């Protein structure tokens, strides 16, 4: 079965390139996450919860979840 889909998704490089366009989402609240954390070093203790960029960035301590869910939904500290 040499279909076009098999040729495209059979190549690892093409598959990773195509799938990289799908945005990463939080496993709890399902909002789109920024893979790259903000340039500044905000934390929940320094008022980062007021910063929307900090909220939607991926938590460094628990991969797959946003900072908001990590600190306020699951209440990890």
Q: Whole-number mean pLDDT of the chain? A: 79
Q: What is the pTM of this model?
A: 0.66
The pLDDT tens digits for 16-47 are 888 888 888 999 999 998 766 666 666 666 66
Per-residue model confidence (pLDDT) at position 57: 87
- What percent of the chain is predicted at pLDDT more than 90? 12
**d(C-alpha 68, C-alpha 20), whole Å:** 24
Higher pLDDT pick, 37 / 15: 15
Taking CB atoms within 8 Å and a gap of at least 24, the contacts of 73-76 are 73/28, 73/29, 74/28
Tokens of 17: 């390139």
């Amino acid at each position: 079965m040499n279909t076009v889909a098999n040729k495209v998704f059979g190549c690892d490089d093409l598959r990773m390139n195509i799938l990289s366009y799908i945005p990463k989402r939080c496993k709890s609240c399902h909002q789109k996450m920024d893979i790259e954390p903000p340039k500044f070093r905000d934390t929940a203790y320094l008022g980062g919860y007021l910063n929307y960029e900090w909220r939607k960035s991926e938590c460094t301590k628990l991969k797959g979840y946003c900072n908001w869910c990590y600190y306020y939904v699951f209440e990890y500290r």
